[in-house]
């Protein structure tokens, strides 16, 4: 028998707690994981710190850990360096990211660079970074840079806290998950045309995750704690698909390129997941798929489906469509290597009702 030459390294969360009041279990989880030494809690200023950050510090201190709290307002090289130096100076042993995507990605990157464990404690359910081994940071030109980091050792998602946040964040999370449909289609296309490495397992999990949103839209629109639970479960599954694939390909394709392009050019971009949802509508149209069902699901949930609802000018939508192919050019998508012409972009946005 010939030996298998391919080695696949998958890094997955060991513990996932999702439910009402699970924040109170954080000390027990850390002990169960065998974590020792000091803990650095990275959190946001004001609201995030008040609703969760300070409580995490209290629980860990009561559990016998030395704890340090660090506030972060943005993710950039300076903030990452500041957190890294604080951890090193105080010889802390593990990091907890308590907050939204900016907070979690900052904790994720610093823990990866220092080679210490990381625990994800999301306070909103806006994107699948809560469980994935990838992190996103903006370059000097506002262009996105996706960085390899590490999957969290544990995810502790308290639905009581997440459901109390503005529902806009949860709806955005739904847009980020529905994007898996076109991301997988792009991934399959890249395999056929560019011989890209492809994982049927990761692709199937990614599509199943998107189906969770389609099938539960009526429940999610109720905006209650059960809705938060459903979306968080889907976000964690999407993050696991990324870990299995070893890249963000099962959850990030042409629709994400469109969103990242908007981030670069719009005066005031919408939430990442909101933009990805609108991008998914248009990219589904390009594939000849049931884009109306994507649009109708987003509408039912209460997520934006038009430029006006995003709060973004029509001209930015068109420009983003024409330059999206330049974002992360190594990832081949339906946008191809030359992208859409302005005329094609206008027809696409009009046909899907994104612009009027």
Domain ranges of the chain: 15-164, 167-351
CA–CA distance, 101 with 263 (Å, rounded to integer): 15
pLDDT number for residue 45 = 84
pTM: 0.94
Q: Which CATH architecture is the domain 15-164 placed in?
A: 3-Layer(aba) Sandwich (3.40)
In degrees rounded to 5, what are phi and psi of residue 95? -125, 140
Looking at residue 3, its pLDDT comes to 55
Long-range contacts made by residues 55-62, C-beta under 8 angstroms, separation at least 24?
Answer: 55/23, 56/23, 56/26, 56/96, 56/98, 56/121, 59/23, 59/24, 59/26, 59/27, 60/26, 60/27, 60/30, 60/96, 62/27
Q: How far is CA 7 from the centre of its chain?
A: 26
Alpha-carbon span 258 to 253, nearest angstrom? 9
Three-class SS state of 173 = helix
Q: How many CA atoms lie within 13 A of 344 on its CB side?
A: 13
Three-state secondary structure readout of 269-305: CCCHHHHHHHHHHHHHHHHCCCHHHHHHHHHHHCCCC
Number of helices and strands in the chain (H, E): 17, 8
3-state secondary structure 215-268: HCHHHHCCCCHHHHHHHHHHHHHHHHHHHHHCCCHHHCCHHHHHHHHHHHHCCC
- 167-351 CATH: 1.20.1090.10
Please give the Cα distance from 316 to 62 (Å, whole number).
51
- CA nearest neighbour of 336 among 325, 346, 345: 325
Q: Find the radius of gyration of the CA atoms of the chain.
A: 20
Fold match, 15-164 / 167-351? no
Q: What's the start-to-end Cα distance of the chain, in Å? A: 62
Q: Which residues of the chain have pLDDT under 70?
A: 1-9, 139-144
Half-sphere exposure of 95 (CA within 13 A, CB side): 34
What is the distance between the alpha carbons of residues 12 and 131, in angstroms, rounded to a whole number?
A: 8
Contacts of 163 (CB under 8 A, 6+ apart): 170, 223, 224, 225, 227, 228
Backbone angles phi, psi at 70, to 5 degrees: -130, 130
Query: For residue 169, how many other CB atoms are within 10 A of its CB?
Result: 22
From the list 129, 123, 166, 168, the residue with the least C-alpha distance to 150 is: 129
**Which pLDDT belongs to residue 46?**
81
């Amino acid at each position: 028998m010939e030996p298998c030459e391919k080695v696949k390294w998958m890094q997955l969360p060991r513990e996932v707690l999702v439910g009402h009041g699970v924040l109170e279990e954080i000390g027990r989880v850390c002990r169960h994981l065998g974590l020792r030494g000091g803990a650095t809690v990275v959190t946001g200023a004001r609201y995030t710190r008040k609703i969760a950050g300070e409580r995490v510090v209290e629980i860990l201190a009561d559990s016998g850990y030395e704890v340090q709290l660090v506030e972060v307002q943005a993710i950039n090289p300076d903030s990452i360096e500041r957190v890294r130096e604080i951890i090193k100076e105080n010889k802390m042993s593990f990091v907890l990211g308590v907050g939204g995507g900016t907070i979690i990605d900052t904790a994720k990157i610093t823990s990866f660079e220092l080679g210490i464990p990381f625990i994800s404690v999301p306070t909103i359910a806006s994107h699948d970074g809560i469980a994935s081994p990838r992190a996103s940071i903006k370059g000097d030109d506002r262009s996105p840079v996706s960085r390899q980091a590490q999957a969290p050792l544990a995810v502790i998602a308290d639905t009581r806290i997440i459901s109390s946040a503005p529902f806009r964040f949860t709806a955005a999370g739904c847009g980020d998950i529905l994007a898996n449909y076109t991301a997988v289609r792009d991934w399959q296309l890249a395999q056929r045309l560019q011989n890209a490495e492809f994982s049927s397992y990761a692709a199937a999990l990614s599509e199943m995750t998107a189906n969770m949103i389609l099938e539960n839209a009526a429940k999610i629109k109720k905006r209650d704690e059960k809705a938060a639970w459903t979306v968080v479960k889907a976000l964690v599954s999407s993050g696991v698909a990324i870990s299995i694939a070893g890249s963000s390909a099962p959850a990030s394709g042409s629709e994400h390129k469109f969103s990242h392009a908007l981030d670069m050019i719009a005066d005031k971009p919408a939430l990442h997941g909101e933009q990805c949802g609108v991008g998914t509508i248009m990219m589904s149209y390009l594939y000849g798929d049931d884009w109306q069902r994507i649009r109708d699901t987003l509408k039912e949930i209460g997520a934006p489906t038009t430029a006006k609802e995003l709060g973004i000018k029509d001209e930015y939508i068109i420009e983003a469509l024409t330059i999206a192919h330049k974002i992360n050019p190594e990832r081949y998508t339906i946008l191809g290597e030359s992208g859409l012409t302005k005329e094609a972009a206008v027809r696409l946005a009009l046909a899907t009702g994104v612009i009027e």
